[in-house]
Structure 1
Amino acid sequence: MSTQGQKVAVITGASQGIGAGLVTAYRELGYAVVATSRAIAPSQDPDVLTVQGDIADPDTADRVIAAGAERFGRVDTLVNNAGIFVAKPFTDYSEQEFAALIGVNLAGFFHVTQRAIPYLLDQGGGHIVNITTSLADHANSKVPSVLASLTKGGLQSATKSLAIEYAARGIRVNAVAPGTIKTPMHPEEYHEAYGAMHPLGHMGEVSDVVGAVTYLENAPFVTGVVLHVDGGQSAGH
């Protein structure tokens, strides 16, 4: 059980990069955290429960939400951070890549969010944050990535739809749409080229995205928003 009144955040894709940064940030906000990813290691922190599993599998969503409810007694926030990004020409995508992106980016969101919402309602409300991509709003000929737009763009539309469906019941739903962020996904030799794609001239840091999520967490009058943390890309070039 969480200590009396301690809020609980569920974070997917939590083992590295933005997800690991979010676990730290929510602990600093005083939340207990349920952290899940395919290969996440156990935590030494008694207020961080780790659950291994593929978020594309509905069974993982069941285990994650059930474990959080059993260990901490409640769920207040869900951050759908798990995601796959593959940039390649449209006709080069394989069936396996299509299935993987649909599985993690859309089905993963669907299953875990559907299971989390009843717990949020039990608390009288809560918060859902979806991590998407700036490219969903801002296509770039240098980064052909239709499957990211198809899946994360769907997530952005779902963000607004869920925000309106649950607004009267106290659940806020927002999205953060990052540009290219310095994470283990991006080898350092590409940082300069990636940075040049952004009007600000550099890549973002994990802390930029984490700061946006914590802002939204503490913004009770903000719902249905897609917050671009993308070095100006969505504004233009």
Structure 2
Amino acid sequence: MKGKTVIVTGASTGIGYAIAKLFIEKGTNVVMNANNPERLEKAYQDLGSPSNAITVSGDVGKKTTGRELTQAALDKFGSVDVLINNAGVFHSKPFLEVEESDLDRYLTTNFKGTYYASQAVIPQMLKQQGGSIINIGTVLVDHAISGFPASAAVSSKGAIHTFTRQLAAEYGKDNIKINTISPGIIRSPLQGKIGVEDADSLAGLHLLNRIGEAEEVAETAYYLAQAEFVTGETINVAGGHTIGHAI
């Protein structure tokens, strides 16, 4: 991946930050995106203001943002080889309390953000005769938890899982690979945002009896970015979460 270019959305914290960090360390050119410009700039500085990375703030739920990210990658690095659709929002809310604004928020940021960014990069990937798109889903699509009501958020992620398979079918002949990473409980700021004070207390949801680290998701993203014969797949990085429980 050295010298190639990857766009990472939601790159200022958590999984997105870990992904950007790994690719930068591997010598890949990285376009880091997040909606909050101050947080994005801090993340960039925390990484040492690397010369092989740039920042482009913007809301991926807006169609123009994907175009801006693509153009920035081309202007600075000359190619778009990988898109990692990591930006997203996720909260628990009981089904009967979900309002239209909640649905709009999840569908716009999670699904439309993934859709629009992918629309923006594929024309360039077609010109380059290949590329890779990696989406971030959730194991909750396949393994729901009754004590964590999140129908709206999970449904938006489910759309991403389905989108992955369909897009892989449409662009396989063009050597554009589209896959999804489906994380389990990962140590990140997201846990605090959804009210989980001690993420390690959820270790029993995984057969390995521990929660995952953001770096482990990043390693999977790095593998998929290079994989030439993997497309349309959903890869669980979840310590056996969908298979059984350690409790």
Structure 2: runs of 5 or more not aligned: none
Q: In structure 1, how many angstroms separate the alpha carbons of the residues matched to 2:234 and 2:216?
A: 15
Structure 1 position 29, deviation (Å): 2.9
Letter in 1 for 2:198: Y
Give the structure 1 partner of residue 33 of structure 2. Answer: 36
Post-superposition shift, 1:151? 0.9
Instruction: Please state how far the C-alpha of 1:89 moved relative to its aligned partner.
Output: 1.2
Question: Using the alignment, how far apart are the partners of 1:172 and 1:77 within structure 2?
Answer: 9
Answer whether contact 1:133 1:148 (CA < 8 A) is retained. Answer: no
Distance in 2 of aligned mates of 1:161 and 1:61: 20
Shift of 1:69: 1.4
2:104 equivalent in structure 1: 99
Q: Identify the residue that residue 230 of structure 2 maps to in structure 1.
A: 222
Instruction: Note the 1:1-237 alignment, pairs <5 A.
Output: 6-39=3-36, 40-41=40-41, 43=44, 44-187=49-192, 189-237=197-245
Count of residue pairs brought into register by the alignment: 233
- Any idea what SS the aligned residue of 1:200 has? coil
> How far apart, in 1, do the equivalents of 2:170 and 2:206 lie?
34
1:35–1:48 CA contact under 8 A, matched in 2: yes
Distance (whole Å) between structure 1 residues aligned to residue 94 and residue 120 of structure 2: 35
Percentage of matched positions with identical amino acids: 36
Q: Distance in 1 between matches of 2:151 and 2:5?
A: 34
Deviates more, 1:169-178 or 1:189-198: 189-198
Deviations 1:169-227 (A, max 9, x none): 11011110001100012237322332232232221101111111112122211111100
Aligned mates of 1:101, 1:41 — CA distance in 2: 25
- Shift, 1:58, TM fit: 1.5
Q: Distance in 2 between matches of 1:197 and 1:236?
A: 8
- Distance in 2 (CA, whole Å) between partners of 1:70 and 1:129 is 22
**Distance of 1:170 and 1:209 partners within structure 2:** 24
Structure 1 gap segments, 5+ residues each: none
- The Cα of 1:100 is off from its aligned counterpart by 1.0
Where 2:41 maps in the other structure, the secondary structure is coil
* Root mean square deviation of aligned Cα: 1.6
Tell which deviates more after alignment, 111-120 or 57-66.
57-66
Moved over 4 A (4+): none
Please give the alpha-carbon distance, in whole angstroms, between the structure 2 residues aligned to 1:102 and 1:155. 10
SS in 1 for 2:186: coil
- Checking the alignment, whether the CA contact within 8 Å between 2:205 and 2:244 is kept in structure 1 is no
Amino acid across the alignment from 2:10: G
Q: Can you list the C-alpha shifts for 1:56-93, whole angstroms capped at 9, x where unaligned?
A: 11122221111111111210000000111111211112
Contact 1:136–1:148 under 8 Å retained in 2: no
Aligned residues of 2:24 and 2:50 also touching (Cα < 8 A): no
